[in-house]
Amino acid sequence: MTDTVQPTRHVTTTRIVAVRGSALEYRADRVVGEEPLEIRAAGPGQAPVAVAVTMRTPGNEDELAVGFLRTEGLIEGPEVLRIETGDPVEMNQPDDRVTVRLSRPFDASVVAERHFVATASCGICGKASLDEVVVRSAPLAPGPVVSRPVVLALPDLLRAAQHAFDQTGGLHAAGLFTPAGELIAIREDVGRHNALDKLVGSQVLANAMPLGQRILMVSGRVSFEIIQKAAVAGIPIVCAVSAPSDLAIEAADRLGVTLVGFLRGDGFNVYAHDERIDLRDLLAFD
């Protein structure tokens, strides 16, 4: 069954003045939620360590926390014991703080070295060099070969599952697909990196790792960080409706990720590792 559940507080209501041509209307409108989330981690007998604060759309906090720790190379996944939210007595919104409890000690020095500072727009900005990511993520295995019709169908499949976007028009989406084009799960968030972390976290918590036979489809552009997170999670193919950055292309090339951009209508560009896209029907053979 495809996992497309919309969480609470994902979408809120506000009053607006709507101007349409010469007409004016006062009415309610649906908008995407955005609130801070503090992600913490702790091993046995350890006090929780604050790892990062990210601006995110409320919902799927456990997945976001686990996915963030996984795609940043801080955990492998199986060591997650349980997830705790904040104290309702001291917090108006207890789910604005999440602690991931681990079965092994958590190395707090890594957090100090990496200087995590996250925002909804760019994720962990300026903290990672490409060389560091290569150390944390070996080049991916060959992975699946996907047909052109499957690739072309991904944007419509993703868009059809974006329930919160239908209400607000203001959310990024990340969808996980099989090589045959079957949607496994989708997550939406005001931050494209958060949507991907939620998606990866959902698979960690479902014991569905590794993701070497999966395709990632994202609704916006592809930054370096999207490729980084996909590679660390083991996803071999990343597709997007918009453009990649030059550093995203370089990272995809070095990390063994197939990168498809400008996936719209009947066309797309392959920027790295085109061997995973079956284009034989377009080639002339003697």
Which active-site residues does the annotation give? 122
Q: What is the separation of C-alpha 205 from the centre of its chain, rounded to a whole number of angstroms?
A: 15
Q: Are strands 146-147 and 277-278 parallel, antiparallel or unpaired?
A: parallel
d(CA 254, CA 284): 29
Q: What is the C-alpha separation between 229 and 187, in angstroms, rounded?
A: 15
Q: Which three-class secondary structure state does DSSP give residue 258?
A: strand
- The set of long-range contacts for 90-96, using a CB threshold of 8 Å and a minimum separation of 24, is 93/35, 93/58, 95/37, 95/58, 95/61, 96/35, 96/36, 96/37, 96/38
C-beta of residue 269 within 8 angstroms of C-beta of residue 260: yes
CA 112 vs CA 70, 96, 116, 117: distances in Å: 17, 22, 8, 11
Give Cα separations from 140 to 62, 157, 163, 230 (angstroms): 27, 26, 32, 10
Place of tokens 């150390």: 135
Q: Which residues contact 113 (CB under 8 A, 6 or more apart)?
A: none
Which H helix or E strand runs over 128?
none
Per DSSP, which regions of 207-280 are E strands?
215-218, 237-240, 258-264, 267-272, 277-278
